[in-house]
Structure 1
Amino acid sequence: MAPTDVISWLLDTDPALRWQVERDLLDAPSEQWEATRARIPYEGFGAALLERQDADGQWAGGAFFPKGFLQDPDNAELPGQPWTATTWTLTTLRDWGMDPAPLIERDTAALLAKNSHWEYDETLPYWGGEVDCCINAMTLANGLWLGAEVEALATWFVEHRMDDGGWNCEWTSGSVRSSVHSTLNALVALAIHERATGGTEATRAARAGGEEYLLERRLTRRLSTGELLGPWVDHFLYPPRHIYSALRALDHFRLTDRRDARMEEAVEMVREAQQADGTWLQQKVLPGQVWFEIDVPLGEPSPWLTLQALRVLRWWNEGVPG
């Protein structure tokens, strides 16, 4: 495909993706992409997810897992967890940029406060979060989106940041070293918190320190040995769920508009993954039950990854001295 063909291919997709192409790649007038974004709750992927919301405000009857999932011993043998419960579904809708108005009209935040509790400890209210950094990151971001009271979760991230600068979901098991997966998820939430509220001195410092943790590692390599962080660094996937990659990390820095020379290797990984036809391939698919497929199978050109990669490279190139 020629560049114009790639754009046409991207435009021939769901409104959840198409509006971002219009805004981020075509610089379309705001009234155009806003009109496309406004269609998310009423057609395609967004409408399909909204249709699956339970009367109690949840999806699949649970906060992080579907109702009863952890009680079935056969599920322990499954290759992956389900991605259908409340937290994953809200995160997906928010990531697509859907206006939360339809969920607010359904009183979703209040329903979840009343009816949803964490499988980790069913005494914990939904908007209070639990102990997992990635779960709390999604809850903080989703709560801000829906207008729930989640300021205590922003403080939680300040209090649970590790000495090396980041976060790790395994802290409850005794880990004292940060994880790039957990750290990126925490940074995404803290950046959303800062955009929504201005943040506090402590949350802004935590975000800056967490970003430095990733930059010290060039977004790609272990600080101790210089080896790649893992085989997933340059294996791009959509939806990423909780998985770290160089592309996801760069997209975070794009949103915070912070360029740094230490990102150059990560940028090169994105460039090298582009195919001759201008697209990026789906390089990994996480196992687990979904409501429906929203991207392509392994090895096929991915509209979602192509959008993300093109806008990351565009942002990076705009900041490179002429």
Structure 2
Amino acid sequence: MQNFLDFEKPIAELAGKIEGLRHLSDSSSDVNIAEEVSKLEAKADKLLRQTYAKLSPWQKTLVARHPDRPHCKDYIEALIEDYTPLAGDRAFAEDFAILGGLGRFRGQSVVVIGQEKGADMHSRVKHNFGMARPEGYRKAQRLMDMAERFDLPVITLVDTAGAYPGVGAEERGQSEAIARSIEKCLAIKVPLVSAVIGEGGSGGAIALAAANTVLMLEHSIYSVISPEGCASILWRSGDQAKEAAEALKLTAQDLETLGVIDEVIAEPMGGAHRAKDVCIAALGDSIEKHLQELSQFGGAELRQKRRDKFLEMGQKGL
């Protein structure tokens, strides 16, 4: 059964009516049920298009967090052949919030790294809701080192509310691990393409997204803090999360205008969760295009272009 968000209630009501009529299709009736279903489906489709044509930043935040949205594991399974997962940071432990390994992306050997939120309660707990600890970011560094050693492009998939803020994570050097991961992204001499597929939260996201090319799905978000966190700081209450989402400029469209990201990937009407295969294929096409473009540059030039890109962001507006 499809999960509808709060702002989709009118669409959900129409979907319920359609389902109810379909259950009556085998019973005798003077009403042409097929025709009525067709009319309601057209009405629901129109309403869906109208709703998604004018989503607010807060509504986009809800879509980015939709529980049925395709996650890192879905993209790896669909896009990466002969995927071999690699585990551990060789210092402390394995962190299931970050997946990573070797595989072939459309015929090309790559290293893929991504944040996995989990699809049900058991897997969400296992993957810590996509919130990595220091060992997760150190694992990412290890995999990027390996990619550079064997001259393999790196693909990262970003989907996290932020790095895990627990006491143990802080004791083991959470901020240092994030900073080192950002540094590693900027240092490697191989193509690095990053895609924000859901939430791109704070340093936990940029630790994997300081890339040559940063892509975002149409209804994903990317910000220095969550709307709720921002509201709790500025207004001392999470009730102003909608206003915070507006002020943060966290949508893909805003960030493309600001020059923070490089491309927005269109999602199926109603969000990626309504046609997962279509969305995954579209992102794959974009990643393939950008990897081909980056393949013409040497290692030193790739690194310099990546560094210049982020330095220019800091100089804008000065």
Larger Rg belongs to: 2
Q: TM-score, normalised by structure 2?
A: 0.31
TM-score in terms of structure 1 length: 0.31
